[in-house]
A and B are shown apart, each in its own frame.
Chain A
Amino acid sequence: MLEVQNAKKYFGGVKAVDNVSIQVKKSSITGLIGANGAGKTTLFNMISGFIPLTAGTVIYEGEDITNQPAYKISTKGIVRTFQTPLGFPRMTVMENMLVFAKNRNAGIFTAIKTSKKVTPLEEEYIERARKILKDVGLGNKEDAWVSDLSAGELKILEFARPLMADPHIFLLDEPAAGINPANLNSLVTLIKDLRNKGYTFLIVDHNLKFIMNICDYIYVMADGKLIFEGLPDEVANADCVIESYIGKKKTEDTVSN
């Protein structure tokens, strides 16, 4: 469904991402792990059009989307979240949802001519947004300022918003960061539910337990390079992964055992 081929990103002499190829299959949950500075977020930014690739290609559903602008990529059904979810702070939860509705029909003259506060088309979107908010457990927050939401609620809203536009694939940048264990469980349930409905996920995270628990397939990056890929079990036992995460000494201990 989504394929990155030989992606490279050099910032001057720094090879942030060096010849990385990954594949995300339809309706799968694919993980991307690695220590800080491994190049995970850079790879994300390249896929979602936020920064241009130095070299390589990004193919989505057979179409070459390399270096297309972010707003264009998102209309193709690829949505991404950010490490620190802020939402649109001085807008209500409902407004946040409506911004993501498809066919936003942002005509200026139509707007000037329309005396109704809510058009029939918007009416549909509002109903849809209410249903989504109810499903994710934010049903009673519709009129709240987003700046008043808790960190956990903000994370949930990150998922709820793009659902307005029927995305196909979610790129999640550290969804588990800064979330308490109770909320984490509901997040895992939410992601798995969405996967069962046919959505595809590519997740970057530090939390190994979370990634192991949720992913079907995992890529491991270190220093801009892909150092391992495989099923969660294989990743958990791979020496090079343990080394990159925990350090060499531990690896030697493991070997000597």
Chain B
Amino acid sequence: MLTGTALFLSSILTLAAIYAVIALALNLEAGVDGLWDLGVVSFVAVGAYTYTMLTVSPASAGQSYIMGFGLPMWVGVLAAGIAGSIVAFLIGKPTLKLKNEYFLITTFAFAEVIRQILTNERWLSNGVAGVYNLAQPFKTYFTPSVYPYILLLLLVIIVFIVYVVVHRLTYSTFGRSLKALRENEPLALTAGIRPDRFHIRAFVIAGFFAGTAGAFYVWYSTVITPSLFTSDITFFVWMAIVIGGLANNKGAIVGSVIFVLAGESLRFLDLGSGFAVRMASMKIAILGLILIAILKWRPQGILPEKKVKFSNSSKNS
């Protein structure tokens, strides 16, 4: 029983780690830069498919998808990031001129368009049937009972790396310029900050990390179908960063863990099969309640945006 629980816990923490990578990416563009992006799932989807198509073997009889080069996984992950960036650039170039609400609607629409393409263009992605039995990293080195923990460990390391990179960007001159744009764009203009250039950079960086998260998602699920990439992911990640604290990178991670734990912990309740369906819909209701509670009593999130102080750091020089 204990190992069962531990396995289940490690599985949902792995999922939380994947959400954390997307949340960190979204936090840079939405929390620090203030872009209202409701299409972050686009980058995840494109990253996931790019990774899969580059790393799987060629399509067998009855299947149809492009490429299938069987490349090494790390090449696939890198390509997933790059593909995410390219999509971010292509979507961002025309849409970043739009103001908040319009940007939100357009990015949301693009995410749907991408999912529809993946669903309907069978030659490209094998359509709704998807691709199954995808490989997981380092799987051959470990016994199946240990492997879930290895995957979790791997993702914890990845979250740490992404955290360090996003953290450095947030507190750099670049991040400060993004914050300035978020806070007061006309004033930022008088500081010589060029909005379009900074926004697109933030968007493309977010696209990169969200793209790699797509590849990690494939590791986790070992399956890829278009239905995995609905806008639910976008909303879940937004909820995670709002719960954790917008513009706080630790908050993005904490929010993702809380979000996934709260959602999945209902499965621990053994209420019999009659309640299973009801419990599944309860998940969304409970997450909604948490979000409302946070917005009412702690609108800055669990870990609010940190104040940047220079008073101590510069005395030691």
Contact = CB atoms under 8 A, between A and B. Distances in A.
B187 to A, nearest CB: 7
Interface stretch (A6-14, A27-35, A90-98, A197-205): A90-98
B102 interface: no
A107 B198 CA distance: 11
Contacts of A112: 165, 168-169
Interface stretch (A73-81, A182-190, A237-245, A247-255): A73-81
A112 B209 CA distance: 14
B309 A91 contact: no
Interface in A44-95: 48-50, 69-72, 74-75, 79-80, 82, 86-92, 94-95
Contact of A48 (B169, B171, B190): B190
- Which of A94, A106, A145 has the most B CB atoms < 10 Å from its CB? A106
Give the one of B165, B180, B192, B194 with max A CB within 10 A: B192
B310 interface: yes
Interface string A115-129: 101101011001100
Contact of A88 (B173, B187, B305, B313): B187
Contacts of B173: 98, 104-106, 111, 122
Contacts of B186: 50, 70, 82
Given A88-B179, A88-B184, A126 B191 contact: no
Given A87-B187, A89-B183, A165 B168 contact: no
B310 A94 contact: yes
A127 to B, nearest CB: 8
B205 interface: yes
Interface in B171-185: 171-177, 179-180, 183-184
Nearest to A89: B183
A104 B177 contact: yes
A87 B186 CA distance: 10
B311 interface: yes
Contacts of B317: 120, 123
A111 B175 contact: yes
A187 to B, nearest CB: 19
A91 B180 contact: yes
B92 to A, nearest CB: 15
Given A88-B180, A143-B311, A82 B187 contact: yes
A145 B307 contact: yes
Contacts of A90: 179, 183, 305
Contacts, number: 113
B298 interface: no
Contacts of B140: none
Contacts of B190: 48, 70, 74, 79-80, 162
A89 to B, nearest CB: 6
Given A90-B183, A92-B309, A143-B309, A100 B314 contact: no
A98 B305 CA distance: 18
A115 to B, nearest CB: 8
A138 to B, nearest CB: 14
Contact of A114 (B168, B193, B201): B168
A99 interface: yes
Contacts of B192: 71-72, 74-75, 104, 165
B177 A99 contact: yes
Interface residues of A, number: 47
A147 to B, nearest CB: 9
B308 interface: yes
B184 A108 contact: no
A126 B314 contact: yes
Contacts of B305: 90
B294 interface: no
A142 interface: yes
A143 B189 contact: no
B308 A71 contact: no
B180 A142 contact: no
Nearest to A161: B191
Contact of B194 (A71, A86, A145, A161): A71
B109 interface: no
Contacts of A75: 192
B188 interface: yes
A160 to B, nearest CB: 13
Contacts of B311: 142-143
A96 B317 CA distance: 22
Report the 9 A-B pairs with minimum CB-CB distance, sorted nearest first.
Answer: A111-B172, A88-B183, A70-B189, A75-B192, A106-B174, A99-B180, A74-B190, A71-B194, A100-B191
Given A74-B191, A88-B184, A94-B310, 19 more contacts: A48-B190, A70-B189, A71-B193, A71-B195, A88-B180, A88-B188, A94-B308, A95-B308, A99-B180, A104-B173, A104-B192, A106-B177, A112-B169, A117-B171, A120-B317, A126-B310, A126-B314, A142-B310, A143-B309
22 contacts: A70-B190, A74-B191, A75-B192, A87-B187, A88-B183, A88-B184, A88-B187, A90-B305, A91-B308, A92-B308, A94-B308, A95-B179, A98-B176, A105-B173, A107-B174, A111-B174, A112-B165, A112-B169, A114-B172, A123-B317, A143-B309, A161-B191
Interface of B: 165, 168-169, 171-177, 179-180, 183-184, 186-195, 198, 201, 205, 305, 307-311, 313-314, 317
